[in-house]
Amino acid sequence: SGSAGGGAALVEALGGRIVPTGTLLASATHLGERAAVADLVVVLEPLLHSPQLAEALLDTVTAAAAAQALPVVAVGRESTLSPHEAAEWGLHGVITVGAGEGEMRRAGSRIARGWLRAPTDRADAGRGVAPWVNSQQTPMAVRWTADVG
């Protein structure tokens, strides 16, 4: 209804396809393919509160992770999620951080120590592409590589 309904009708009349935002995101970012080669998925979402998460496309990311049996860790400034609520959202871990690059680096180190397996040989060293999306629906990718001797 309203302008969104009118816009959808216009797109459809012009021969365009109307797809759910999560479907478009997964396709445009090759989320399934990225998850297939990942060890972990990290989601950056500033406010980890159930009402906000309903609009954050988290379900699209966690579904792609679940299809590959991957753990999902959420990083945010605030969280009111209980362990049960986090599990309902498909999250295996929740980390809150303060502002600043140093805080994010500490969170990254914590995630690497607690959630990523150490490569056993050079063939494994490049593994670890973790797709994620933030609240502005910006697709990102993180590559973790450990030094192996």
pLDDT exceeds cutoff 60 at 89: yes
Rounded Cα distance between 46 and 25, Å, is 19
pLDDT exceeds cutoff 50 at 91: yes
Any idea what the Cα angle at residue 123 is, between residues 120 and 127, rounded to 5°? Answer: 85
Q: What is the pTM of this model?
A: 0.69
Higher pLDDT, 128 or 110: 110
Of 5-9, 26-30, 31-35, 63-67, which range is least confident?
A: 5-9
**Residue 5 pLDDT level (bands cut at 50, 70, 90):** low
Look at residue 4 in the predicted model and tell me its pLDDT.
63
pLDDT exceeds cutoff 60 at 26: yes
Higher pLDDT, 87 or 112: 87
Rounded Cα distance between 110 and 68, Å, is 23
